[in-house]
Structures are given as C-alpha cells and as structure tokens.
Structure 1
Amino acid sequence: MLKFIQKNMSIISYIFFGGLTTLVSLGSYSLFIVLFHMNYQISNILSWILSVTFAYFTNKHFVFKSKPTSSHESLKQIFSFFSARISTLILEIIILWVGITLLHGNEYVWKFIDQIIILIANYAASKVIFNKK
C-alpha cells in the first residue's frame, strides 16, 4: 500500500488540493450569486480568478514540488499555467452556457459537473507545466 501511495503521490495530492480548489471555486461562485446577485457567468469568472490563483500556488509547491532554477523559468511556468487555465475557462463558460442557458438547468448542478471535467483537464495540463526535468 505504501508503494502505491508513493508512486501515485502527485495524483493523490492533486485530488486533495484539486478538491480544495473546487471548494474555493464553488464557494466563491455561490457567494457571488447569493450575496451579490451577480450573473452566473460573471460569478464564474470571478470565482475562476480566485480558484486559479489558489491552484497555482498549491500545484507549484505541494503537488508537483516545482522549484524553477531561474526567474525566466518561473515566469514561463506562470504564463503556461494561466494560459492553460484560460483554455479551460473557455470550456467552463461553454459548459455553463449550454447547461444553464440552453438546457435551463440548475446553476449549481452545472457548476459542479463543470468542475469535474475541468479538474481532469487541468491535471493533465499541470503535469506538463510543472514537469520535473
């Protein structure tokens, strides 16, 4: 069992911190909708900013334990990370639009469905971005 955990530690820690990132995303999304009565797309973008910033630091330091050797490499990681996340933000916007606007679904249910899809896509991108050489 210990070998399995050691072999899959990046996946296990990504699931843990991905879960926390999902809580940041869902929690802030709900707050923006309930407390501030914002449109679901605006709430999604604001929650994206908070959750992606949180995800960058947890992925870099705890999941992939990345230690860039230069400021150039650090900037490249930041740019790559946020670029990849912008791609999945576009996917999120489309998923929410289809689920909520076209299918008239519940905004919280579709945000949860969206988070599962995004979690998988973001793991694949982060694994490449923070790849240890």
Structure 2
Amino acid sequence: MTWIKKMYERYQEMVDYVLFGVATTVVNIVVFFLLDTVIGIPYLVANAIAIIASILFAFYTNKKYVFKTHTPTFKAAFREFYLFVGFRLVSGLFDMLSMWILVDVLSFGTNTAKIATQFIIVALNYLSSKFFVFKG
C-alpha cells in the first residue's frame, strides 16, 4: 500500500488529470449522445454543445483538483478562464473538423467518430492546460 501511495504522490497531477480527463470525456460523449442520438439534433450542433459543456466542466475540475491553482484576483482568475477556453476552443475546432471528416467524408457513425476524436483531444488539452493555462 505504501508503494501505491508513493507512486500516486509522485505522479498525482498526471493521475488526477487522467481521472478528470476521463470524466470530462464522459461528459462530452454523453451530452453528444443524448443530443444527437436520443433527441435528434444535427450532429455538428450536438457536438458544439457537448464541447461547451465539457469545457466548463473541465475548467472547474482542472483548476480545483488537477493543477490546484489559486488566483488572488478576479483579473488573474479571468485570465486563466479565457486562456483555458481559448485553447479548448482551438481543440474544439479540431474536434468539429474531425467529426465532419469522419462522418460526412468517411461515413463513420456519429458516435464512433465522436469517440475516435477524443483520444487526440485529451492529449492536446493536457498540453495546453499544463504549459499555458495553469502554470502557477
């Protein structure tokens, strides 16, 4: 048990990022599935809404539980938020483009395409959060 605790302490940020990254990805996929498959909203609209929901969820969990940053002023907090959203919107555009290519060009099913895009998105989001947003 001590070995596991030491390993967690050593790699806590990465482990927490993976756990909350999985949770964020689940939020993204579930919102997309509900809007696209259950309700029948066009898949690109459903994808955009899912991206927004997951960005808000991810900002909160990354700030509070993964990178544990404390911002002493509103200005500093707002800076973190707009940087986070800005980088996530860039990965969101990649997500949208990937969905369009996979669904409309390559004829993948919408849910399969959504899951496939998430692997690259998670890596891009970790790098931007770690090195540009939550540096403190």
Alignment partner for residue 17 of structure 2, among 4, 8, 14? 14
User: Pairwise mapping of residues 66-105 of structure 1 onto structure 2 (< 5 A)?
Assistant: 66-105=69-108
**Is residue 112 of structure 2 the alignment partner of residue 109 of structure 1?**
yes
Number of matched residues?
A: 132
For normalisation by structure 2, the TM-score amounts to 0.93
User: Pairwise mapping of residues 113-132 of structure 1 onto structure 2 (< 5 A)?
Assistant: 113-128=116-131, 129-132=133-136
Name the SS of the counterpart of 1:35 in structure 2. helix
The percent identity for this pair of structures is 25
Alignment partner for residue 46 of structure 1, among 45, 49, 55? 49
Amino acid at match of 1:100: V
Amino acid at match of 2:134: F
Name the SS of the counterpart of 2:82 in structure 1. helix
**Is residue 29 of structure 2 the alignment partner of residue 26 of structure 1?**
yes
Unaligned runs of 5+ in 1: none
How far off is 1:47 after superposition? 0.6
How far off is 1:36 after superposition? 1.8
Runs of 4+ more than 3 Å apart = none
Query: Distance in 1 between the 2:121 and 2:76 partners?
Result: 25
Query: Distance in 2 between the 1:8 and 1:124 partners?
Result: 16
Query: Distance in 1 between the 2:111 and 2:39 partners?
Result: 16
Query: Distance in 2 between the 1:89 and 1:40 partners?
Result: 14
Name the SS of the counterpart of 1:131 in structure 2. coil
Query: Distance in 1 between the 2:52 and 2:90 partners?
Result: 13
The alignment yields a C-alpha RMSD, in angstroms, of: 1.0
Deviations 1:70-120 (A, max 9, x none): 111111000100000110011001111111110001111110111111000
For normalisation by structure 1, the TM-score amounts to 0.95
